[in-house]
Amino acid sequence: MDKDTILVVDDSDIICSIIKGILESPTLHIDIAHSGEEGILMAKKLRPTLILLDIIMNGIDGYETCCILKSSTETKDIPVVFITGNNDSESVLKGFEVGAADYVSKPFIPEELKARVKVHMQNIKIQRELQLLMNELKEMAVTDYLTKLHNRRYFMDQLQEFVNQYDLKLFLILFDIDNFKKINDTYGHNAGDMVLVSVSSILKLLLREEDILCRWGGEEFMICLPDVTEDIAIDLANKLRKEVSKYIFNCDGFTFQCTITGGIIQYDRAISPEKNFTNVDQALYLGKSSGKNRCIINYPILKVNE
Q: Which of 161, 219, 230, 243 is an active site residue? A: 219
Do the beta carbons of residue 102 and residue 82 sit within 8 Å? yes
pLDDT digits (tens, 9 = 90+) for 219-264: 999 999 999 999 999 999 999 999 999 999 998 888 999 999 999 9
39-56 in b/e form (b: 16+ CB < 10 A) is bbebbeebebbbbbbbbe
4-138 shares its CATH topology with 150-305? no
| 136 catalytic residue (yes or no) | no
The H or E element spanning position 265 is strand 260-266
Residue 213, CB-side half-sphere exposure with 13 Å CA sphere? 19
Domain boundaries, the chain: 4-138, 150-305
Percent of the chain with pLDDT over 70: 96
- Eight-state DSSP code of residue 106: S
Which CATH superfamily is 4-138 part of? Response regulator (3.40.50.2300)
**Topology annotation, domain 150-305:** Alpha-Beta Plaits (3.30.70)
Judge whether residue 303 has pLDDT over 80.
no
Shortest CA distance to 262 belongs to which of 147, 152, 169, 172?
A: 172
222 contacts 262 by C-beta, under 8 angstroms: no
pLDDT of amino acid 304: 46
* Predicted TM-score (pTM) of this structure: 0.66
pLDDT tens-digit profile of 36-50? 999 999 999 999 999
